[in-house]
Amino acid sequence: MPSYPAIFVLGCGIATGLTYSVMNGRLGDAYAMVSTLKQEVSRQESELLGYTQYTSYLTVGKQSLAEQMKLLAATVVREESVTQVIERSLLGLSSTGTVAIWYSVEYSFGFDLQADSYDVRPTASGIEVLVKKPVLVTTPAIANLRYRILSGGLFTDERDAVLRLYEEAAKNAKEQGEALASDAAVVALCEKRLIAFLHDFLAKQPGVKIVPQISMTYH
């Protein structure tokens, strides 16, 4: 005849074992899920940090811009020409001659990137570079000087006139360069070089996944 108490105890033991096994399995699944969630949160936090990590390098980026100020200059080469009519009178007789000179001028434009003259800062829409407008950063370089005597006069000294025009070329080039600094095309070229350098610098820094739009503001 079966012993019911023994069977009951055995059944309880089996049930308890099954319950423990099921609960242990569920706890293991829960721990695994928590671990997976933690990893996902950590991954998302790391990814989000990568989208704002560039802000940590703005100060270093500003210093790097200042160090590369000369290399960031935008170069513009223009062909210039001057024609001059020479008049001279002698003993009531007048004489006229005409000379012309041509030359190339290389202008260099850039921003004043001394530490206290500009700033690089984060904004709601990206990065803002607060700076003064571009200026002529070096003395214009004149090259390939040439001349032609278009017409000669009886009493005029065309070669002397050419020498004077050569001497005036440097002064004229400087004045022309200062005027060109505010030209829209020159300003756009300077902006393009600075923005490209800063963007590339920030993009290469550790942990940076994206560099937002960089804008220029003048003061």
Q: Where are the domains of the chain?
A: 56-218
Mean pLDDT within 59-88 = 85
pLDDT for res 72? 87
Q: Which residues contact 108 (CB under 8 A, 6 or more apart)?
A: 73, 74, 75, 76, 136, 137, 138, 140
- pLDDT tens per residue across span 126-167: 999 999 999 999 999 999 888 887 776 554 566 777 788 888
pLDDT at 40 over 70: no
Dist CA 203 CA 196 (whole Å):
11
Mean pLDDT within 176-200 = 94
Q: Give 49's pLDDT tier (boundaries 50, 70, 90).
A: very low
pLDDT at 217 over 90: yes
Range with the lowest mean pLDDT among 29-33, 48-52, 94-98, 156-160? 48-52
pLDDT for res 155? 43
pLDDT at 20 over 60: no
Q: Are 112 and 135 in contact (CB under 8 A)?
A: yes
pTM for this predicted structure: 0.68
- 152 phi and psi angles, rounded to 5 deg: -110, 145
pLDDT for res 158? 66
pLDDT for res 43? 55
pLDDT for res 214? 95
Q: Are 85 and 155 in contact (CB under 8 A)?
A: no
Mean pLDDT within 208-216 = 91
Fill in the amino acid letter for 208: V
- pLDDT tens per residue across span 84-134: 777 665 555 566 778 888 889 999 999 999 888 899 999 988 999 999 999
Q: Are 88 and 99 in contact (CB under 8 A)?
A: no
More confident residue, 144 or 48: 144
pLDDT for res 163? 81
